[in-house]
Amino acid sequence: MNQNTDIELKDTRNEEMEIDLLELFGYFMSKIWWIVCAFIIGALIAGLITAFVITPKYTATAKMYMVNSSSQSVVDLTDLNIGQSLSGDYVELLKTRPIVEGVIQEQNLQYSYNQLVNMMGLSVVNETRIIQIDITSPDPKEAMVIANSLADKGVSELPKLMETPAPHIAEYAIVPVNKSSPSLTKNTVIGALLATLLMLAIFTVQFLRDDTFRSAEDVEREFGVMPLTVIPEGKIEGLASDNDKVKRKGRRKRRG
């Protein structure tokens, strides 16, 4: 008996939740133009900020090839494995202060060590022996110069630190033509979605704070009692004037 009662209570709660969600959806639909306006305004604001406020940045890429051989002419499987395992060490050593500060001094850069490290992106390409050096800067030519200087510095300094054969420059960086960030399309979509979510959140709060009874079902759900009468929608003044007319006609008939 208790199990049946619990099931009925759960079903009733689920039905009430469905009704609330439907009412909330209907409330959103009644405010659809506000939601559409928020979507458009958010997209415009994000697009304008991206196009005219945020400074674009460019990324130049250089690549180094790690070589490790036990002989001068033959590279066996062991050498390949050792070279691959050393690639991670080379990546970390390229971030060391002597190499980074050496690039700053050679190129007469106005960056600190931490600032230049934050501009660097170093990675091993698909578990190979190729190291990719990415430099991101607001100046595309500066990005190219720093990437190539860091690659050259790695070729000259890393063999001294690790006592290994010097790596080779697989590819020098060129001046990037297209900006790497920010993305106008991505930021515009994000701005539109954020503005829409904000507007929906505002309408949700308004809906939840509104305790007006809109139907007899609302009264029954709140108090558990079905109302006996319902006041029809319409102008009360018009109903009052109609009642006055009826009363006047009744008086005239009595006098007649």
Residues 93 and 158 in one domain: yes
For residue 203, tell me if it sits in a domain: yes
In this predicted structure, which of 5-14, 97-106, 139-148, 202-211 has the lowest mean pLDDT?
Answer: 5-14
Q: How far lies 240's CA from each of 17, 53, 229, 252, in Å?
A: 40, 62, 18, 19
Tens digits of per-residue pLDDT, 53-93? 999 999 999 999 876 544 444 444 445 454 556 777 888 89
For residue 176, tell me if it sits in a domain: no
Residues 87 and 159 in one domain: yes
Token readout for 160 is: 């001294």
Residues 69 and 159 in one domain: yes
3-state SS class at 143 = helix
Whether pLDDT at 52 is above 90 = yes
Residues 219 and 244 in one domain: yes
Whether pLDDT at 212 is above 80 = no
- pLDDT value for 125: 86
CATH number at residue 81: 3.30.70.1130
Token readout for 216 is: 């007899």
For residue 256, tell me if it sits in a domain: no
Q: Where are the alpha helices (DSSP H) in the chain?
A: 2-30, 32-52, 77-93, 97-107, 113-119, 140-162, 184-209, 216-223, 236-255
Residues 101 and 125 in one domain: yes
CA end-to-end span of the chain, whole Å?
71
- Reported pTM: 0.67
Residues 163 and 111 in one domain: yes
Residues 167 and 202 in one domain: no
For residue 178, tell me if it sits in a domain: no
Count up the domains in the chain and report the number.
2
- pLDDT value for 8: 47
Tens digits of per-residue pLDDT, 126-139? 878 889 999 999 99
Write out the residue range of the structural domain in which residue 164 sits: 58-171
Q: What is the mean pLDDT of residues 200-214?
A: 81
